Amino acid sequence: MATKTVLITGGAGFVGCNAARYFRSHNWNVTVLDNLSRTGTENNLEWLRDATSFDFERADVCDRATVDRIISAKHYDAVIHLAAQVAVTTSVTDPRADFMANALGTFNVLDAVRRFSPEAVVIFASTNKVYGKIASAVTELQGERYGYADRPYGIAESEPLDFLSPYGCSKGAADQYTLDFARIYGIPATSFRQSCIYGTRQFGVEDQGWVAWFTIAARLERDITIYGDGRQVRDVLHVDDLVRAYEAAIQSPDRIAGQAFNVGGGPKHVLSLLDLIAMLEKRLGKKIPLKWEDWRPGDQRAYVSDIRKLETELGWKPEIDVETGVVGLIDWVDEERELFVEAV
Ligand SMILES: NC(=O)c1ccc[n+]([C@@H]2O[C@H](COP(=O)([O-])OP(=O)(O)OC[C@H]3O[C@@H](n4cnc5c(N)ncnc54)[C@H](O)[C@@H]3O)[C@@H](O)[C@H]2O)c1
């Protein structure tokens, strides 16, 4: 079988470098495109270079001519589009930069695929934020954690879209462009509405990547602030499971083209802030001091993805249980402690 080629934008980021390594280990040719704007990306690239060979393009997805040059240079079987401004908080302070990277950047990638590589499967890393507050969902305290009283399987793709925050709008626009390019131009493109993804090589900060941030902060003895009561819940998906879902989607273009999928750990893989603190305390063998603040505006008590559509269409399901995944993350932070002293 001929070797296949994938372009991974944002390939030096957390999800991207894990995806690049996975596809290389499955004998794909990999091109990584990244502008290296995120802290930790140089280190991720070094890690990838130590492990394998790949092409690297230092480029910005906002630059149309460069995106055109890269996408027209080779035959790509797949494009995994991850490059993005990823923090809601940053999108509020600089909405133009957020729009450029997320909305225009995605448009540039899609439009280049349309013109130069229309058979490439495109996976756009969208977000559960496209559903906004989901005000109609009823949340209640269920034991030690919040959960939905009325949505036992979580939030499905049928939930109305309600873009909230500049990040929600820019990713939401990109999500809809992706689906429309599939409808109008026949590109096998899909929007993966990702929930909280965690795992090694995530340089989490307080504003984004909370599982990694808590772990790094606990290890470096930085302050951890809990906003609210700490019982808020997210479904979490290990990055290795996410990358397998990308692979499954690429292998079944007919089943994913023009479709949006909620991609997360689902109801079987949920974690509250306090659950994570308890796991960290157990593993690190010490009490973690916490600072407490009031709920922030818009903080959701619960978000859990309904992942049945992806399970049904692709026969995929998350395999890494939360405890195993979190322990792996803690061990990585422990081993690479020096990295974080500079990075966060
Ligand atoms: N990690 C999560 O929990 C999560 C959840 C939902 C959606 N997502 C989406 O998944 C994707 C990957 O997320 P991640 O956690 O790996 O983030 P990340 O910040 O680690 O990776 C994003 C990468 O994009 C690069 N980048 C940023 N702007 C760019 C630009 N204009 N041109 C080229 N490269 C640029 C950064 O340098 C970084 O390497 C993002 O699109 C994000 O919105 C992530």
Distance 10 CA to ligand 1 centre (A): 6
Alpha carbon distance 328, 326 (integer Å): 5
Alpha carbon distance 333, 267 (integer Å): 27
pLDDT at 337: 83
pTM: predicted TM-score of the whole model, two decimal places: 0.97
Task: Tell whether ligand 1 has an atom less than 6 A from the beta carbon of residue 165.
Answer: no
pLDDT tens per residue, range 224-283: 999 999 999 999 999 999 999 999 999 999 999 999 999 999 999 999 999 999 999 999
Domain layout of the chain by residue ranges: 5-343
Burial of 274 (0-12, 13-18, 19+ CB in 10 A): middle
Q: Answer for the pair 81, 31: CB distance below 8 angstroms, yes or no.
A: no
Q: Answer for the pair 182, 335: CB distance below 8 angstroms, yes or no.
A: no
For the question of residue 177 being annotated catalytic, the response is no
pLDDT at 88: 92
pLDDT at 246: 98
How many Å is the Cα radius of gyration of the chain?
19
pLDDT tens per residue, range 267-305: 999 999 999 999 999 999 999 999 999 998 778 899 999
β-sheet bridge partners, residue 196:
236
Q: Which of 76, 148, 167, 303 is catalytic?
A: 167
For the chain, the first-to-last Cα distance in angstroms comes to 44
DSSP string, 1-54: -PPPEEEEETTTSHHHHHHHHHHHHTT-EEEEEE---STTHHHHHHHHHHH---
Q: For a substitution probing ligand 1, which of 70, 86, 213, 243 has the most ligand atoms within 8 Å of its CB?
A: 86
pLDDT (average), residues 214-227: 92
Alpha carbon distance 212, 46 (integer Å): 20
Q: Answer for the pair 91, 167: CB distance below 8 angstroms, yes or no.
A: yes
Task: Tell whether ligand 1 has an atom less than 6 A from the beta carbon of residue 37.
Answer: yes
User: Nearest Cα to 309, choosing from 251, 269, 250, 249?
Assistant: 249
pLDDT at 27: 97
pLDDT (average), residues 1-25: 96
pLDDT tens per residue, range 298-325: 788 999 999 999 999 999 999 999 999 9
Residue 306 — left, alpha, or beta (φ > 0 → left; ψ -120 to 50 → alpha)? beta
Residue 342's pLDDT band, with cuts at 50, 70 and 90, is low
Share above pLDDT 70 across residues of the chain, in percent, rounded to a whole number: 99
Alpha carbon distance 86, 83 (integer Å): 9
With residue 114 as reference, give the H or E element that holds it.
Answer: helix 105-116
pLDDT at 191: 98
Task: Tell whether ligand 1 has an atom less than 6 A from the beta carbon of residue 83.
Answer: yes
pLDDT (average), residues 128-154: 96
User: Nearest Cα to 238, choosing from 265, 210, 272?
Assistant: 265
Q: How far is CA 329 from CA 68, 86, 220, in A?
A: 37, 20, 14
Residue 141's pLDDT band, with cuts at 50, 70 and 90, is very high
Q: Answer for the pair 130, 193: CB distance below 8 angstroms, yes or no.
A: yes
Alpha carbon distance 216, 182 (integer Å): 40
pLDDT (average), residues 104-132: 98
Q: Is the pLDDT of residue 204 over 90?
A: no
Alpha carbon distance 162, 110 (integer Å): 23
CATH 3.40.50.720 assigned to 5-343: yes
pLDDT at 344: 60
User: Nearest Cα to 164, choosing from 130, 119, 204?
Assistant: 130
Q: Answer for the pair 102, 84: CB distance below 8 angstroms, yes or no.
A: yes
pLDDT (average), residues 81-110: 97
Q: Ligand 1, atom 23: nearest CA belongs to which residue?
A: 10
Q: Ligand 1, atom 19: nearest CA belongs to which residue?
A: 13
Q: For a substitution probing ligand 1, which of 7, 8, 9, 15 has the most ligand atoms within 8 Å of its CB?
A: 15
Distance 13 CA to ligand 1 centre (A): 6
CA 21, 22, 27, 28 dihedral sign is negative
Buried b (16+ CB within 10 A) or exposed e, 174-213: bbbbbbebbeeeebbbbbbbbbbbbbbbbbbbbebbbbbb
Task: Tell whether ligand 1 has an atom less than 6 A from the beta carbon of residue 34.
Answer: yes
pLDDT (average), residues 191-213: 93
